[in-house]
Chains A and B, each alone.
Chain A
Amino acid sequence: MILDAKIPPGPLQSKWQHFKENAKLINPANKRKFNIIVVGSGLAGSSAAATLAEQGYQVDCFCFQDSPRRAHSIAAQGGINAAKNYQNDGDSVWRLFYDTLKGGDFRAREANVYRLAEVSASIIDQCVSQGVPFAREYGGELANRSFGGAQVSRTFYARGQTGQQLLLGAYSSLSHQIKSGRVTMHPHSEMLDLVLIDGHAKGIIVRNLITGEIKRHAAAAVVLCTGGYSNAYYLSTNARGCNATAIWRAYKKGALFANPCYTQIHPTCIPVAGSYQSKLTLMSESLRNDGRVWVPKKKGDQRPPQAIPEEERDYYLERKYPSYGNLAPRDISSRSAKEVCDEGRGVGPGGLGVYLDFQDAIARLGRPAIQERYGNLFEMYENITGENAYERPMRIFPALHYTMGGLWVDYHLMSNLPGLYVLGEANFSDHGANRLGASALMQGLADGYFILPYTMGEYLSTQFGKKPTTDRPEFEQAETAVRAKLTQLLEIGGTTPVNEFHRELGLLLWEKCGMARSETSLKEALVELPKLRERFWKEVAIPGRGAALNQSLEAAGRVADFIELGELLCRDALTREESCGGHFRLEHQTEEGEALRHDETFSYVHAWQYQGEGVAPQLVKEPLDYEFVSRSTRSYK
């Protein structure tokens, strides 16, 4: 199988322009005839559904929450990047492009990333016109901050609630379109399978989570905007409901899954406190602008932090990375935290934590200034841990946060299955092996507002008169399979709650395929995972019925998929014999312990093709050619 990314010809700066000028258009009268399924109502899904509806398409939008406004995007705190250069600090489309590519350790496509940087400015215009209350300066201009180690201030934000405000903006446009009748919203609906007709994505099978009803939906094209798979690790910063079911079932229908091993571990989360814990809370990365990260120099130092004198503290990020210091990128900061904890210098319960200390910032700027900047975060921290971070340093530890891998898509955001589009965190496209802060919101909205609405015409223009109907045998088969799987789950009659399997899976992945991976640990995981899977299908307890609200049943389906995905994740990590971005293989590091890439052998997208139950998936490679930039070694020293 040869993957064609369909990159337009010409210089980098004019590829998107070239594409748009030559793109196939669908006339307004014809748009009405096409209906489109959008699964997901996060930033990617809401923006896509609203924009397609504005253009005149008939849209069906699905989400599993009770309202589209509650998608996981709502929780993003820090901000959204855009190459506006409002601060006159030398930012440009090129710089945002280069930073993103470099941040991703040169494992993304040049053309996609350039386009992302190019459309970033329009996103801010769009959101402001919707009434998103971005932070402002006294003179009324938009405020910016530097985020996640960027050397320019290009991040727009709305207090610590940027994701909420961007999502509510997209939700308001979506609501408008629902009112106009061009979008039919299906909340509390979970997609359980993709339906292919003659190899094209033409529909989905959905379970109504309140009534348990199973329904078929047909469309001219299917757009998946279903988010990432961090919750495979059980404890993550993601919302509890985030899951991989939609993309996983599409994978099992033939969509390629690209770079599953690229997972991002965020350095600043509240450490795990006990086994009852249901999720990990992110402390915004912006805290690293003023907080200093340290651990005691001495192993097992039990003194309270205030009692440890300055000379006995190791500000290890400042020591190792003098130029970026506490702002070193996420993968590097996380790994450094793990190293010092592995050395026995971690703090707090179980030695799994490091300090993030604001004493110097408070001394320099005064407590009110810190309160103004981070008051809500300090409050949140105190609420969760019972500790006051103005008086003693915060304890933080890395946690699973974001997944760069996802379904493979071409430049049009279409997967290898014609008619199946994948947007937002669910696709693999723009962040390479590591995502920079404030770039996911940018990508989700770029995909939904500005890219898909242009690229979709290419496919739809070939689909006139091919209106699928749900009485086709393909729908029948898919529905029967979905029902059979649900019945099978309900009939297991075991005694172990789904949660316990999920926690076990998470622990396994965290230990064997977390911040540092090795051939041994991955091979062990590949032995353990099939066993876990077998036990799950024998022992899981799912009380209640299928034809009603049944939260155990929902969770069981998702965990079953996560276990399978876990295997693919480890297999991919094992195959990628190099370290890059969030993927760190112990065998591949420099003498100083930094990630060692092998560009000659691994400058590829690893896309996996499902081959059937019990058969190893096939690896399909898309070469990453760097025509316009030369790959450097990331150095943040």
Chain B
Amino acid sequence: MNFHLRLWRQEGPSAKGGFEEIEARDIPAEASFLEMLDIVNNRLIKEGREPVAFESDCREGICGTCSMVINGIPQGPGRGAACQVYMRTFRDGDSITVEPFRVAAFPLVKDLVVNRSAYDRIIQSGGFITEHTGGAPDAAAMLIGKREADRAMDAAACIGCGACAAACPNSSAMLFVGAKVTHLSLLPQGQPERSGRALNMVRAMDEEGFGNCSNYYACEAVCPANISASVIATLNREFVAAVIKVEVAN
């Protein structure tokens, strides 16, 4: 198969970027999107040019490393991350536009690579349960209903890729934050720090410069981990409850 690529090239954060037109030739239909880029890069290298910078690691849709916008869709068409897109989903001769995530809180590094450390800092602000190694009771001492466990797992499946913020017109990170808050607030282990967690994570999200949710649900549509937008409602509830709790306490 052959494709006509419009690829975003940008040397660094302060350099001027722009689209470069590149032909992708003789691409097997079974190749993944990233393998197609590998083939293109190999050719660029052979021609003595710099390959397109993009990140990937697992190439199985689980690590969340790959991140790019394909034809306007963060993580590309179909379910799953960009590495799970296969060339057979395109038509021979298609033009394909590839750009980096465009979110102010994810500054551009080079070409398709952006810096998503803001998500790590949000987790550091409270996305954990305080415990210390060696102090845990026997795991069987705590019963957790299958329904709660399954729902917690649904939310915990987030791969931290950042597509939610990239898809959102407001660059909101609510799906990501909601997923973590939902996961931990559903579990008995997560109860003691429940209020503080919601408050701290929402504050961290604001400080990082992510916008607010105004119910576009674009995040849910692109999320490779199928995180449901209902986690945003949960986050809102948890946040309001936490604010009230603090006010009552004061």
- Residues on A close to B: CB < 8 A? 47, 50-51, 54, 65-70, 72, 74-75, 84, 86, 122, 124-131, 133-142, 158-159, 161, 164-165, 168, 171-173, 175-176, 178-179, 185, 187, 210, 239-241, 273-274, 276-279, 281, 380, 383-386, 449-450, 453, 495-497, 499-500, 541, 543-544, 548-549, 551-552
> Which residues of chain B (21-72) have a CB below 8 Å from chain A?
27-28, 30-32, 34-35, 38-39, 41-42, 44-46, 48-51, 53, 55-65
Q: Once bound together, how far apart are the Cα atoms of A50 and B124, in whole Å?
A: 13
Closest to A159 in B: B153
> Chain B residue with minimal CB distance to A132?
B156
Please indicate the chain A residues that have their CB under 8 angstroms from the CB of B128 in the complex: 130, 172-173, 175-176
Residue pairs across A and B with Cβ atoms less than 8 A apart, 22 shown, are A50-B133, A51-B133, A66-B115, A68-B120, A70-B57, A70-B64, A74-B62, A131-B156, A131-B187, A133-B187, A136-B146, A168-B156, A176-B130, A179-B125, A241-B57, A497-B42, A497-B46, A500-B42, A541-B46, A543-B45, A543-B50, A549-B110
State whether A137 and B146 are in contact (beta carbons under 8 Å apart), knowing that A54-B133, A210-B109 are contacts in the complex: yes
The answer on a CB contact under 8 Å between B189 and A129 is yes
State which of B41, B130, B139 has its C-beta within 8 Å of the C-beta of A124: B139
| CA gap between A496 and B48 in the complex, in Å | 10
Task: Please tell me which stretch of B80-88, B163-171, B234-242 contacts chain A, meaning at least 4 of its Cβ atoms lie within 8 angstroms of it.
Answer: B80-88
Known interface pairs A136-B145, A383-B84; A239-B30 also in contact (CB < 8 Å): no
Report A-chain residues with C-beta under 8 Å of the C-beta of B184. 131
Nearest B residue to A383 via CB reads B84
In the complex, the 6 A-B pairs of residues with the closest C-beta atoms, listed nearest first: A140-B143, A172-B128, A129-B136, A125-B136, A136-B149, A133-B153
**B35: which A residues are within 8 A, CB to CB?**
276-278
Contacts of A496 in B (CB 8 A): 46
A66 touches B116 (CB 8 A): yes
Chain A: CB-nearest residue to B160: A69
B106 → chain A, closest Cβ, in Å?
10
B100: interface (CB < 8 Å): no
Number of A-B contacts (CB under 8 A): 216
Q: What is the distance, in angstroms, from A154's C-beta to the closest C-beta of chain B?
A: 13
Measured between beta carbons, the chain B residues less than 8 angstroms from A549 are 53, 109-110, 113
Contact yes or no, B45 A383, CB < 8 A: no
- Whether A131 and B115, one on each chain, are in contact in the complex, defined by CB atoms closer than 8 angstroms, is no
- Is there contact, CB below 8 Å, between A130 and B189? yes
A25: min CB distance to chain B, Å: 14
Q: How distant is B224 from chain A, measured CB to nearest CB, in Å?
A: 12
- Chain B interface size, as a band, is 35 or more
B116 cross-chain contacts in A, Cβ below 8 A: 66-67
Check A276–B31 contact: CB distance below 8 A: yes
Contact B45 A497 (CB under 8 A): yes
Q: From B129, which residue of chain A is reached at the shortest CB distance?
A: A131
- CB of A175 within 8 A of CB of B139, answer no
Chain B residue nearest to A165 (CB atoms) is B156
B131 engages A173 (CB within 8 Å): yes
Within the complex, the shortest CB–CB distance from B103 to chain A, in Å, comes to: 14
| Residues on the A chain within 8 Å of B88, using CB | 386
Contact status of A499 and B38, CB under 8 A, knowing A164-B157, A175-B128, A179-B124: yes
Asked if B127 is at the interface (CB within 8 A of a chain A CB), the reply is yes
Give the CA-CA distance A260 to B88 in the complex, in Å.
39
Chain B CB count within 10 A is highest, among A65, A75, A130, A142, for: A130
> Is the CB of B96 closer than 8 A to any CB of chain A?
no
- Asked whether B123 is an interface residue with its Cβ less than 8 Å from the other chain, the reply is yes
- When the two chains form their complex, are residues A131 and B190 in contact, meaning their CB atoms are under 8 A apart? yes
A125 touches B137 (CB 8 A): yes
* A contact residues around B156 at 8 Å (CB): 131, 133, 158, 165, 168
A70: nearest chain-B partner, CB-CB: B63
Given known A164-B157, A168-B156, contact A75–B189 (CB-CB < 8 A): no
B133 nearest CB across to chain A (Å)? 4
Q: Tell me if A239 and B153 are in contact (CB < 8 A).
A: no
What's the minimum C-beta distance from A159 to chain B, rounded to whole angstroms?
6
Are B46 and A281 closer than 8 Å at their CB atoms? no
In the assembled complex, the Cα of A3 lies from the Cα of B187 at a distance in Å of 48
**CB-based nearest B residue for A543:** B50
> B3 an interface residue at 8 Å Cβ cutoff?
no
Q: Which residue of B lies closest to A178 (CB)?
A: B124
Chain A residue contacts of B145, Cβ below 8 A: 136, 138, 140
Chain B window 104-144, contacts with chain A (Cβ cutoff 8 Å), 1 for yes, 0 for no: 00000110010111011001110111111111111110111
- How distant is B192 from chain A, measured CB to nearest CB, in Å? 12
Q: Which A residues touch B44, using CB under 8 A? A: 543
Question: Given that A54-B133, A142-B139, A552-B51 are contacting pairs, would A175 and B149 also be in contact in the complex, using a CB cutoff of 8 Å?
Answer: no
B117 in contact with A450 (CB, 8 Å): no
| Closest chain B CB from A36 CB (angstroms) | 15
